[in-house]
Every structure is written in structure tokens, then in C-alpha cells.
Structure 1
Amino acid sequence: MVLDLIVLKTDDGYTAEIPSMKGCESWAHSEDEAIDKTLELLRFYLHVKSDFKFKIDRARKEGNQIVYKVIFNKDL
């Protein structure tokens, strides 16, 4: 399964969200921390263990927004 992860740079940090998962979003001072927090929420929503690994690929940058692809096996 592939999901979009959108990271937006703001004046005071970064927000990251997975639009297809309602409420799966977070804010942090760094881009990496925002991504990590959002992936932690995704693990919670998918009911997988905290050590479950996702593959993250940077897809494109559009202005102050970066789009990543979160790739994982859908047969959880």
C-alpha cells in the first residue's frame, strides 16, 4: 500500500499529515521529527507494533510543501 505524507514548512516549524487517514497529522520544530510523529500515529491507526517499518520515498517538492510516499505491506 502507498500513502501520501505531506510536510509543510511553516513560520514556526513543520506540519506533517497523511490526508487519507483522518486525524493523522502532527507538528514539530524539525521536518524529521514531524514525520516520525506522524508515522507513530499511523502505526497506532493501523494497529501495528511500534517497531513496524515503513519505507519513505521523497516524491516531489511544491513550494514550501514536500510530498513523500509511505510504502508498506497492506497485509498487516
Structure 2
Amino acid sequence: MPGSQLGGGEIVTIKPAGRHGLGRHRGPDTFLIEHTVVVYQGRVHDGSTGRGGETIAEYKAKWDWPDAINFGS
């Protein structure tokens, strides 16, 4: 189960706010419609963040449209 290796965390599916997709992520033409991550102790974890994850601000900065991403905080 996602998050189990972290000892917890909340599984969050990021969906665009008022857009058709989330845009590119870290440069490649991904143009995801939605993306699922684990948020644990204020850090975002997915397949691209590495073991330590990234702060929400760091993670959002890697997307074309960071304002379309809402983690509820």
C-alpha cells in the first residue's frame, strides 16, 4: 500500500483546478490529468521525489501550473 513504507501519510490525488490537466511535471511532456502522491509530515512523496520527499512548495514548483495544485494547506 502506498505510504506504508513511510509509516503513514495521506494518499492525495491531485486534480486540476479549472484546467484540463496539470501541465508538465519536471520538464517532460507528461500533461497528467491527475496524479496520486503521499503527503506525510508536510512532505510530498511520489516516484520522482526520492526517499526524503519534498516540501509542498518544492513539489508544486516543479509543475507548469503550481496554482492548480491544492493539497488542502
Same-fold call, TM > 0.5? Answer: no
Structure with bigger strand share is 1
Structure showing the higher helix proportion among its residues: 1
User: Taking structure 1 as the reference length, what is the TM-score of the superposition?
Assistant: 0.27
TM value normalised by structure 2: 0.28
